[in-house]
């Protein structure tokens, strides 16, 4: 899943609710600030995170010096480090896995086969790895290029947001096409795993880089007695990640890096389960647990919609399968048989057996009466696209929105409707998708 160390700080998987922090951590550590964007403080214990402070040196030869934090996930922290090459400063991302996830079958170690894939410039692969032996255990570490925010939160920065979003959507689709041509499924293809490139930092002194990215913000850690921890298993402070929404152009560019291949697999040898988030799961995965190229394609359709609109196509309150199927049917129509009549066991709680005169699913009366007016109107991909591009989570009181041109709405709706077919065999292949007219709007 994307919380293996996704380094987009705005990603929901990188933050925990304040409610989670109401529980008393077993290790007796606390923070007195909002936890958003921070790792869980109780994960600093044997088997958990390696303790890192600003200024620490990492690597086999201590060549990577920590100067900031890029993000946190469920199983790792990612640190911005400076390394000197011929006395010229360069900047890299060092991802440190929790000790319990640093075993020999760690998914991060299975990426070597991806080096044969063309378009490597858009695939984020480690160029160095090492181990750290620390008070909390043995930690695998991977060194990556520095990447920025996720692709679905950044259009407001570019001179022509519409063109930049289409450009990055095409790059993401080309990456999937390259993977599929080698028989590889990504397995977790979501906007949280598609980040923008950061450019122009190499060669700059540290103080100038921090002026561009913002100075690190420390969050002090306390013991139950209110003191700074002295145990080597605990940090003196946590560090808030870089706020990429505040980083100016040209240091963020409209080029993408696809990250996190921990769920990737050979299509001839699919895993028993996929860790992709609920909102991007296709019906065959929800109802039959059948991974394959089709799962990647469905996730691609959802991701293209989110890149272009800033919104999830299927946005549920929680990860409930029935809620997901309900939203899916409202948007795309009734499921094919036998899914409709038998496989989806709770379908009758949501929809009647019979369709309306246009072949659309009809909600049961009790549910229909409970829905707000906007939920009872007919939904479709085109309807969802007409709501335009909108970002709500840019910061306190900040929003960004713009309409999508009507002609483009029709073209993109046609593309997505042909990708998001219920039956995997009827979906466009990724190579066929790249030939669609929507990808030629900018003369590509």
Residues 137-172 have pLDDT tens digits of: 999 999 999 999 888 877 667 889 899 999 999 999
> Mutual orientation of helices 293-309 and 161-181 as an angle, nearest 10°?
170
Residue in 266, 367, 284, 290 with CA at minimum distance from that of residue 321: 284
Question: What's the rounded Cα separation, in Å, for the pair 429 and 299?
Answer: 12
Determine which of 27-36, 76-85, 301-310 has the lowest per-residue pLDDT on average.
27-36
pLDDT at 26 over 70: no
* Secondary structure (DSSP) of 326-377: HHHHHHH-PPPTTIIIIISTTGGGTB-SS--TTS---B-HHHHHHS-HHHHS
> What pLDDT, on the 0 to 100 scale, is given for residue 391?
83
234-262 residue pLDDT tens = 999 999 999 988 898 899 999 999 998 88
Determine which of 134-148, 150-164, 343-357, 412-426 has the lowest per-residue pLDDT on average.
150-164
Does CATH number 1.10.510.10 belong to domain 276-440?
Answer: yes
- Kindly state the average pLDDT of the residues 333-342: 96
> What pLDDT, on the 0 to 100 scale, is given for residue 94?
97
Whether the full predicted model's pTM is greater than 0.85, yes or no, is yes
362-411 residue pLDDT tens = 999 877 777 666 566 689 999 999 999 988 766 667 778 899 999 999 99
Question: What's the rounded Cα separation, in Å, for the pair 306 and 387?
Answer: 12
- Who wins on pLDDT, 86 or 130? 130
> What pLDDT, on the 0 to 100 scale, is given for residue 37?
83
- Who wins on pLDDT, 106 or 216? 216
> Mutual orientation of helices 293-309 and 406-419 as an angle, nearest 10°?
160
The answer to whether 95 is a known ligand-binding residue is: yes
Domain range list for the chain = 29-149+199-258, 276-440
- Kindly state the average pLDDT of the residues 271-293: 93
- Which residue spans within 118-273 are E strands per DSSP? 128-134, 137-144, 147-150, 184-185, 194-198, 217-223, 237-240, 252-258, 265-266
Residue 213 banded pLDDT, cuts 50, 70, 90: very high
> What pLDDT, on the 0 to 100 scale, is given for residue 365?
84
Averaged pLDDT of the chain: 88
Q: ω before 152 within 30° of 0 (cis)? A: no
- Who wins on pLDDT, 421 or 15? 421
DSSP symbol at 407? H
> What pLDDT, on the 0 to 100 scale, is given for residue 317?
74
Report the topology of domain 29-149+199-258: Phosphorylase Kinase; domain 1 (3.30.200)
pLDDT at 24 over 60: no
Question: What's the rounded Cα separation, in Å, for the pair 231 and 172?
Answer: 44
> What pLDDT, on the 0 to 100 scale, is given for residue 380?
94
> What pLDDT, on the 0 to 100 scale, is given for residue 316?
80
Question: What's the rounded Cα separation, in Å, for the pair 332 and 350?
Answer: 15
Tokens of 366: 């009790």
- Who wins on pLDDT, 308 or 8? 308
> What pLDDT, on the 0 to 100 scale, is given for residue 352?
93
């Amino acid at each position: 899943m994307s919380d293996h160390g996704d380094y987009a700080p705005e990603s929901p998987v990188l933050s925990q609710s304040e409610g989670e922090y109401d529980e008393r951590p077993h290790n007796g550590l606390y923070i007195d600030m909002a936890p958003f964007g921070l790792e869980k403080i109780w994960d600093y214990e044997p088997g958990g995170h390696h303790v890192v402070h600003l200024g620490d040196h990492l690597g086999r030869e201590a060549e990577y010096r920590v100067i900031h934090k890029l993000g946190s996930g469920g199983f790792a922290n990612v640190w911005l480090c400076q390394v000197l090459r011929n006395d010229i400063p360069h900047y890299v991302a060092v991802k440190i896995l929790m000790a319990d996830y640093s075993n020999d079958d760690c998914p991060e170690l299975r990426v070597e086969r991806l080096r044969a894939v063309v378009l490597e410039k858009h695939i984020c692969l480690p160029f160095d790895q090492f181990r750290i032996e620390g008070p909390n255990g043995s930690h695998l570490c991977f060194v990556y290029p520095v990447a920025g925010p996720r692709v679905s939160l950044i259009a407001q920065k570019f001179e022509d947001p519409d063109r930049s979003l289409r450009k990055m959507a095409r790059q993401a689709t080309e990456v999937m096409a390259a993977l599929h041509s080698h028989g590889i499924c990504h397995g977790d293809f979501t906007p949280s795993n598609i980040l923008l490139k950061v450019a122009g930092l190499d060669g700059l002194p540290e103080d100038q880089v921090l002026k561009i990215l913002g100075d690190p913000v420390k969050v002090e850690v306390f013991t139950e007695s209110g003191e700074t921890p002295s145990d080597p298993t605990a940090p003196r402070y946590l560090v808030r990640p870089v706020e990429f929404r505040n980083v100016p152009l040209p240091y963020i560019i409209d080029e993408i890096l696809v990250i996190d291949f921990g769920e990737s697999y050979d299509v001839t040898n699919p895993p028993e389960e996929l860790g992709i988030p609920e909102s991007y799961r296709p019906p065959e995965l929800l109802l039959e647990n059948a991974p394959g190229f089709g799962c990647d394609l469905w996730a691609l359709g959802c991701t293209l919609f989110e890149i272009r609109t800033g919104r999830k196509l299927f946005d549920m309150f929680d990860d409930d399968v029935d809620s997901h199927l309900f939203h899916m049917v409202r948007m795309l129509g009734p499921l094919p048989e036998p899914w409709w009549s038998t496989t989806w066991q709770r379908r009758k709680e949501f929809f009647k057996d019979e369709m309306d005169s246009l072949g659309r699913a009809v909600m049961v009366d009790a549910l229909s009466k409970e829905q707000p007016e906007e939920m009872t109107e007919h939904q479709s991909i085109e309807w969802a696209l007409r709501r335009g591009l909108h970002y709500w989570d840019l910061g306190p009181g900040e929003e960004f929105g713009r309409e999508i041109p009507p002609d483009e709405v029709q073209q993109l709706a046609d593309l997505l409707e042909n990708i998001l077919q219920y039956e995997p065999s009827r979906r466009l292949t990724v190579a066929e998708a790249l030939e669609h007219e929507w990808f030629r709007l900018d003369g590509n």
